[in-house]
Structure 1
């Protein structure tokens, strides 16, 4: 049996007036998903348990079968693992976004204009993060470059719970006054954030971006603190050799910590312009090499949700259906083995909110050796709820999927 998970990050949503009060899942043309749903098992799964923040870290751990209450130690340590940072047990890591803030004189009066600094390119971002490390780094604080706007700060012998730190994508278009880091140990963190604004505004990379009509990456924003993670190996836990295909360091880090084979796909951007063809080919290549399980993570629907890009979110779902599922299913049919496919988001990212929620998400499981009439004609939030199948906690879904 071969197993493939297609994780459509943030795909679930709420009815959108501009889509005739349909969700993007309902409005999208997705014949592959709909067919698999009609011949498989459809329901809702609670990927984010009570008291946990609805981040992709918690939700993807849950989907992969790792109980966040046991395994979760923070978001940024997982990203640090992907970047290749050798963390010490008493290090604290933080996600360091490059963001665009408005230009009010006082830092606390500024507005979060763009949590991703206009999709800044990785080479530009790397130059800026190296500059910030030169100016603000020390034996205590070290900045590491990641991908696009996503980077990492390591706080040597830091405080494991430094205070209240807000994800920048939660406060798009809001004044940051009420979201400034708070707590007993964060004065130095906030001081670096403030200093970064003056440093970055004068950097040649940003001057060039402004001249080209692009948004400057004019501040760092620190959040997502955590400590060194400890995950059981996926193969040891489930008995399946596994591979991770993703464009983002968070998922690559989870894969590395779970001792999965982590694939690098050229042109994978984590947005709607990502290399969909390359990602599905990487998954097929892994299965050809003998891997039992592939996890194809696609960030595009989530990014479109954060940016309130209605048509792009619908389009992202359609592209996943066409460019990921069509070749994947064709390969699985031809390979001669029985196969199972699971499709789901990790969490909703409603366009009306531009951030994550902890609502249950729809899932489908299709088994080539157990086709059935599910009574579902289209895969969406509404049909999943109507089946009455509800999985909680979400970390038990992987056992259900892998059961033969």
Structure 2
């Protein structure tokens, strides 16, 4: 048996007027996914436990079969694992975004213009993180460059339980009420404020502005946590797994779970990603002897955050055409296989951030097709089946063990 899980990050949504009061999943043309849904088990799954923030970190842990209430210690340490950062038990990892803030005002009066600085390139970002390190690195603090706008700060003997806000939650909002606050955050706020003067006139940013791009004129710190202890996926399911993603967070969870991390040329984490290349990489992993592939696509989530309605629909259609279609074709040579398709959480276009509602899933098996009673895959039809996993981490047990 071969297993493949296809996760469209943030794919679920609310109906919006611009799509004739349909959700992007309802509106998108996705014949391959809809065919599977008609012949699969279809239902809803609650990936975010009550009381836990609706982030991709907790949600993907849940989808991967790990109870977030037990194994979630924060976002950044999961990303640190992907970046090859070896955390000690007393280290605190903190996500460092390179963001674009408005100009002119005092720092605490600025507005969050872009949490990604126009998807700054990794090469440009590395120069800026090196400059940040030149000013702030000491025996306790060190910054590590990552991919695009996503980076990491390690704070030796640092603190957790801090009041920090994800920058993608406050797009186009004044940052006044969202700055680090409370105990043990003074050092973080001080670095953020000083980073603006360090970065705003940096040659990298001057060159970006000359090309009509937004400058990465501040760091933004959030998502702190300590090194988690995640059991190996193989020990639980006796399957050898691979993870395919352009996002350090997902790679990190996979690495901690004992998966093989697969790099795909042209995988970007956005709508310009190499969809087809990801599908071919997944099939190659299965052909090479792997039993399970966790294939993650970030594009719908990014489009949700950016309120890109047409692109969110397009990203779903590209997942259907360039990933699901080729994967179905490529799997036909096996006697049996299972496919699980779902988002990790909703990223509603109208809110531009994550929410915690249950999301639709479909579970298809070649040798055991089921008439689901639905005509397609979307939030409304999945809810009507009455099937729901309120403990999201149990869906993986059902996918593999039942």
TM-score normalised by the chain length of structure 1: 0.99
Partner of 2:21: 21
Matched, 1:371 2:389: no
Find the aligned partners of 2:57 and 2:6 in 1 and give their Cα distance. 16
What's the CA shift for 1:403?
2.5
What's the CA shift for 1:103?
0.7
Over the residues paired in the alignment, what is the CA RMSD in angstroms? 0.7
103-112 vs 41-50, which moves further: 103-112
What's the CA shift for 1:210?
0.5
Tell me the secondary structure at the aligned position of residue 25 of structure 1: helix
Partner of 1:292: 291
Asked if 2 retains the 8 angstrom alpha-carbon contact of 1:132 and 1:143, the reply is yes
Tell me the secondary structure at the aligned position of residue 394 of structure 1: coil
1:142-168 deviation per Cα after TM superposition (whole angstroms, max 9, x unaligned) = 00000000000000111132x200000
- Which one of the candidate residues 390, 393, 396 is aligned to 2:391? 393
- Note the 1:257-336 alignment, pairs <5 A: 257-334=256-333, 336=334
Partner of 1:382: 380
Instruction: Give unpaired runs (5+ residues) of structure 2.
Output: none
What's the CA shift for 1:326?
1.1
Matched, 1:51 2:61: no
Partner of 1:361: 359
- Note the 1:166-315 alignment, pairs <5 A: 166-315=165-314
Number of residue equivalences:
402
TM-score normalised by the chain length of structure 2: 0.99
Asked if 2 retains the 8 angstrom alpha-carbon contact of 1:197 and 1:218, the reply is yes
Asked if 2 retains the 8 angstrom alpha-carbon contact of 1:2 and 1:337, the reply is no
1:58-82 deviation per Cα after TM superposition (whole angstroms, max 9, x unaligned) = 0000000000011111100000000
Tell me the secondary structure at the aligned position of residue 281 of structure 1: helix
Find the aligned partners of 1:82 and 1:24 in 2 and give their Cα distance. 31
What's the CA shift for 1:105?
3.1
Partner of 2:93: 93
Tell me the secondary structure at the aligned position of residue 96 of structure 1: strand
1:15-43 deviation per Cα after TM superposition (whole angstroms, max 9, x unaligned) = 01100010000000000110000000000
Asked if 2 retains the 8 angstrom alpha-carbon contact of 1:91 and 1:154, the reply is yes
Find the aligned partners of 2:347 and 2:160 in 1 and give their Cα distance. 28
What's the CA shift for 1:372?
1.9
What's the CA shift for 1:337?
2.5
1:112-131 deviation per Cα after TM superposition (whole angstroms, max 9, x unaligned) = 00010001011001111111
1:346-369 deviation per Cα after TM superposition (whole angstroms, max 9, x unaligned) = 000000000000000000000101
Find the aligned partners of 1:254 and 1:56 in 2 and give their Cα distance. 11
What's the CA shift for 1:266?
1.5
Partner of 2:4: 4
Asked if 2 retains the 8 angstrom alpha-carbon contact of 1:74 and 1:226, the reply is yes
Tell me the secondary structure at the aligned position of residue 332 of structure 2: helix
Give runs of ≥4 in structure 1 deviating > 6 Å: none
Partner of 1:82: 82
What's the CA shift for 1:180?
0.8
What's the CA shift for 1:104?
3.0
What's the CA shift for 1:277?
1.7
Find the aligned partners of 1:328 and 1:217 in 2 and give their Cα distance. 38
What's the CA shift for 1:238?
1.2
Find the aligned partners of 2:73 and 2:8 in 1 and give their Cα distance. 24
Matched, 1:138 2:138: yes
